[in-house]
Structures are given as structure tokens and as C-alpha cells.
Amino acid sequence: MKMAIVGGLGWVAGAKVHSNKASKNLKKKHMKEAKTLYSQYYNDVYKLQEQNSELALAVQKLQGILQKAETEREMDDMQRDYDEFKQPDVDGDDRISRAEFAMYVKNYLSNYPGLADKDYPKFEEFDHDGDGYVSFSEYTQQMTAQAKKAENDAKRAAQSGSHAAAQKASQKAQAYQGLAGSGRKTDNFDDLYAQYR
């Protein structure tokens, strides 16, 4: 009986020792795996943050390139508009007098024989401040407005079904588009002009 009790106690003690040992080994293994997973997680997060930073830099570079291209396009448009403006400015004073305007419009629009004198732009429409001269800003703003109006008239004429009216309106729109240069918006026109000059 004693031997059975001692054997039973020995077995319980041995099981407890083995159980503690196995538990410690499992905890060690679990801690090691957890450490490996955490390391992997932090490495992945770091790599993702690095990739995000690189992508953000690439986006910034592309935005810079787009902005530069837009600025260059605006400057090209400005140059084209300015060159168009300077054609009637015979005396080179950076403004167009009534006589210079009349001569230029007559010469330019004579290339469009379907247009009558009433279709020609009027000096008063361009001289916004009424000082007797057309400035670069006034010229570009008015030509853009005239080109848009002529284009809308051409669309309406085409919708009306009258072939002759549509052809005349289309010719007028073409003429004004040529005079208007780029036809770009002139919201910050004075600022752009100041940069150009």
C-alpha cells in the first residue's frame, strides 16, 4: 500500500514537473512566435510608410511638372495674344488708337469676304474705359467675348436650319477666333500681363 501511495505521489509529482516544463516550453515558443509576428508587422508597417512617402513625393513632383506646364502654356497663350495685339499697334505705344483699330480690322476681316461692315467689331466695344485707346487687357477680354458670342451665334444658326445663315455665322466665328488668339479666360489678366512684361 505504501508503495502504491509513494508511486501515486511520485507519478503526480512527475506529471506536475513535466506539465510545468511543457507549459514553460509552450510559453517560450509562443513568446518567440509573437515576437517574430510583431517584428514582421512593424517591418511591414515601416515599408508601407516608406512607400507612402515615396508616392507622396512622386505626386508632388507630378504636380510641379503639371503646374510648370500650365504656366508655360499660359505664357505661350499670353505671347500669342500679345503678338496679335501688337499687329494693329503701328506706332508701338502698347495701345491701339481708333485709326489703327479700323485699319487692322478692315485688313484682317477682308480675308472673310462673306462678312459685311456691320459684322466687324466696333472700336467702342473694345474701349472699355472710354479713353480713346484699346489696351492689351481690353483687347484680349473683348476679343474673347466676341469669339464666344460669334461661336454661339454659329451654333444657333446651324440649329435654325438656314444653310446660308449658318455658313455666314461660322465664317464670323472663325474670323473672331483668329482675332481672339488663344481665347483663354482673363480672370487674372493684369497679373499675368505684369509677369509677362
How far is the first Cα of the chain from the last one, in angstroms, to the nearest whole number? 116
Which residues, including other chains, have CB under 8 Å from residue 84's CB and lie 6 or more apart? 143, 179, 180, 181
pLDDT, tens digit only, all 197 positions of the chain:
777 776 666 766 676 777 777 778 888 888 888 888 888 888 899 999 999 999 999 999 999 999 999 999 888 888 888 888 888 888 989 999 999 988 887 787 777 777 677 777 788 988 999 999 999 888 888 878 877 877 787 777 777 766 666 666 666 666 655 554 444 443 344 444 444 34
pTM: 0.49
Phi, psi of 123 (to 5 degrees): -60, -40
C-beta neighbour count of 70 within 10 angstroms:
10
In 35-166, which ranges are E strands?
96-97, 133-134
Q: Identify whether the C-beta of residue 101 lies closer than 8 Å to the C-beta of residue 133.
A: no
